[in-house]
Chain A
Amino acid sequence: MNVLKQDTDQTEAEKNITVQTSRFGEIIVDKERIISLLTPFLGFPESTRFILKAHSPKSPFMWLQSLDNPQLAFVVLPAALTGLDFRPEIPRQILKELLITADNDKDILLILTIPKNNPQEMTANLLGPIVLNSRKKLAVQVVLDPQKYDPCLRLFPAK
């Protein structure tokens, strides 16, 4: 009995890891929620493990926090919530590597660039969106056709 109990405790402890981040301080991460990148983001070769952190239950904005670089965090927004008709063709090879077999496994996240003092000028990167298999926790930034997609599309154009 004792042996069994010890095993259970150990499993509990191994379920989570503690990670330092500069934005959120020390965070406890359930290993099952860690998203692995097939290839790192261009410009950040050291980061392959990320976690999606909702800003608040109601907000569509999320943080994609690196677990390998405490300072690296992107603000992302699911493309489906932007109101944009953004349904890019994802190369079959990439879908295969992400183990995406059905359309509902596939989530597309847009990386936002938000000027610090001027959030209404935020732009979304449609040229390099993130394709995520939320079930398998695999993701990659894909590079689409620059003739069709804007790397800094303003989400809330001035009226």
Chain B
Amino acid sequence: MLILSRKVGEAIIIADHIKIRVLENKGGLVKLGVEAPDQVIVHREEIYLRILEENKKAAMDSPDDLSMLSDVFPLQKKE
């Protein structure tokens, strides 16, 4: 892992078009400003992992047949 030290106000640049600047460091909370093209998606790690985990679970668990869902649950499409 590349480790860089930065002071508040300083930044790092990744691959010419992504800039991450340290904006504030207060009481253990570091605020970062990320400048990146629109197509670059930025997530907080724990939220990214939460969604990833839920996606995997949804894809793994899905039942073979959905018929029983319609029988059991009172959801009906409006005609």
Contacts and interface: CB of A to CB of B under 8 A. Distances in A.
Interface of A: 23, 39, 41-44, 55-61, 63, 72-75, 77, 81-82, 93, 97, 111-116, 119-120, 122, 125, 127-128, 141, 143, 146, 151-152, 155-156
Contacts of A116: 61, 63
A23 B77 contact: no
A59 B66 contact: yes
B77 A152 contact: no
Contacts of A114: 58, 61-63, 69
| Range for the number of chain B residues in contact with chain A | 20 to 34
Interface stretch (B17-25, B27-35, B42-50): B42-50
Given A60-B77, A93-B38, A127-B51, 16 more contacts: A44-B55, A55-B69, A56-B67, A57-B77, A59-B70, A61-B66, A73-B62, A82-B75, A111-B54, A114-B69, A115-B61, A119-B63, A125-B54, A141-B55, A143-B51, A146-B47
Contacts, number: 104
A141 B56 CA distance: 14
A11 B75 CA distance: 40
B69 A61 contact: yes
B57 interface: yes
Chain A binding surface SS class: loop
B77 A59 contact: yes
Chain B binding surface SS class: helix
A60 B79 CA distance: 11
Across the A-B interface, the 10 shortest Cβ-Cβ residue pairs: A55-B66, A42-B52, A128-B51, A59-B70, A113-B58, A43-B52, A43-B55, A151-B54, A60-B75, A61-B66
